[in-house]
Chains A and B, each alone.
Chain A
Amino acid sequence: MTRISLRVDGVRYDDDVEPRTLLVHHLREQLGKVGTVVGCDTSNCGACTVLMSGPDGKPVGVKSCTVLAVQADGRDITTIEGLSGPDNTLHPVQRSFHERHALQCGYCTPGMIMAAVDLLSENPDPTDTEIREGLEGNLCRCTGYQNIVRAVRDAASAIRSGGESAEPAPPTPEAVDAATPDGGLPPDRVPEEAVPHPVP
């Protein structure tokens, strides 16, 4: 078992994990972040995409089935469940997916939305071709992608014109430090789940 500390959707979690545990399984099975799903076992489908802060603190889209939980130690992670604003206002990408009917069964949707957020933070004004190529790592079986492309285009335009950020919560310089055991949120914001608990 290895001790790791992550900040997921703004909450700090300290846990012991088996070194072989994938980040997606840690998120789902230990942290209860079941909004992030598993669609394949070869990192082709992208259903498990989340944002993870890099060494510079900047969030980058990763397939959480290709990251070991131990590799995420000290990182800041945003899942689909942490994308909405503090008062549950939808992120522009969530809103445009709804408006444009960019989902049917919805299984690929969490990963697709996170990949789109990642794409727009890199390229705020993508062409349709850039959207299609940017989302190449995320498979959808229902929509034929046409409405997904429309939705991402709309969201890009909303973010540009509305001054909204594609990134869910702008990372603060403290973000990385905060994810370490000593960094931490003010005590009143640390929920019970953050208290270390043994692996079941």
Chain B
Amino acid sequence: MRVTVKLFATFRDGRFKVEEKNLSEDSRVLDILQLLNISPEEVAICLVNGKDVKEQHLLKDGDTIALFPPVGGG
């Protein structure tokens, strides 16, 4: 299946802004994180098609995944 991965803020550093990825069926958000060398603890927000999900969330063909690191400074 094909999914679109969007990265935000510092996750773009050394990676990309938006890319399409081919994944095997039954892939989860966690598999994308592994592919991108991002540990689950580094993720503040993970949206799939605009909805909050956990890293165990099962992906479907055509999904758009958006990943945000924590931005907490003041």
The answer on A and B forming one complex is no
